[in-house]
Amino acid sequence: MTLVAEEVRIEVPVSGAPKRGVLSRVAARLGNGAIQLLLALVAVFWLVPVFGLLIASLRDESANTATGWWTVFTKPAELTLANYAELVANQAVWQSFLNTFYIAVPATVLVVVMASLASYALSWIEFPGRETLTVVVVGLLVMPIQVALIPVAKLFGAFGLFGTITGVVLFHVAFGLPFAIFLLRNFFAGIPRDLIEAARMDGATEWVIFKRVVLPVAKPAIASLTIFQFLWVWNDMLVALVFADQDSAPITVALRAQLRQFGTNIDLLATGAFLSMIVPLAVFLVFQKYFVQGVLAGSTK
């Protein structure tokens, strides 16, 4: 019975599709159902770990030690915002949350500004060694930051930047630049030459062309870069682990000390981790198109 119904519904042939027997059409139908089911399961599989963390962050210490987060389905009354209230009231953690902003915002702005300027020169001003310079930037894309940790720590020590937010920001700027320049240069180079030449004929200076012609056109690329760089810095742990001190530590580093006693600290760690995730998740959901483009624009770092 159902087979007949299925057949009727798919009788409109897709243009150019080969004629198939009834059996293979039914198989295709079933296959499609199986694919839907499989992918739905995969999606659930991907969401469950995050959901578990969220629920754990909403249960108090004794509940988390006694039973797993999944028991919440039978005991929803256990849910509480107390962990968050406690964490926000904790001066050190709250300061680290703010520090994450103080680090991520300037590091993003500086990278976007510096990379835009450099990318303009690399794509539209002729100068000797331009090709070589571009290739060097491409080469630096995959540079491991470990290479710079020890020397820059010494350098920062000499300039009094070690253990400061400024130091952390500068390091992020340096290692954000190659990707940023790579992404923007590719986009700038794709701007129609007529646009630039016309402005030059009108006698516009390079600065004016950059500001009035290139930047407005490049908004989508700059948006991608901004989102990508902000999340990259926000999510960092290694750089801050080396260059930040207790007062300038971002939230990832501040929470690290709690890792030792994981089993009994689940309430605190889950809450802290989720607090640190709220900003990236919001940015991701609102600007996902730009973020995905940013990630795809070049290889990830």
Residues 205-224 that bind another protein (CB under 8 A): 206, 210
Q: Which of 239, 137, 251, 245 is nearest to 184 (CA)?
A: 137
Show contacts with another protein in window 9-28 (CB under 8 A).
Answer: 16-18
241 binds another protein (CB under 8 A): yes
Pick the closer one to another protein by CB: 4 or 131.
131
CA 145 to each of CA 141, 210, 217, 234: distance values in angstroms, whole numbers, following the listed order:
11, 31, 32, 16
Distance CA 85, CA 101 (A): 20
Pick the closer one to another protein by CB: 1 or 93.
93
Give burial (CB, 10 Å; 0-12/13-18/19+) of 170: buried
CA atoms within 13 A on the CB side of 271: 25
Q: Which of 251, 242, 282, 237 is nearest to 90 (CA)?
A: 251
Interface map 72-111 toward another protein (x if CB under 8 A): ----------------------------------------
Show contacts with another protein in window 26-55 (CB under 8 A).
Answer: 32, 35-36, 38-39, 42-43, 46-50, 52-53
**Binder among 97, 124, 162, 188 for another protein (CB under 8 A):** 124
CA 61 to each of CA 89, 266, 267: distance values in angstroms, whole numbers, following the listed order:
17, 7, 5
- Which residue stretch of 3-11, 77-85, 215-223, 230-238 sits at the interface with another protein (rule: CB under 8 A)? 230-238
Pick the closer one to another protein by CB: 120 or 187.
120
Pick the closer one to another protein by CB: 4 or 128.
128
Interface map 145-184 toward another protein (x if CB under 8 A): xxxxxxxxxxx--------------xx-xxx-xx--x---
- Alpha carbon distance, N-terminus to C-terminus of the chain: 56
- Which residue stretch of 4-12, 86-94, 216-224, 256-264 sits at the interface with another protein (rule: CB under 8 A)? 256-264
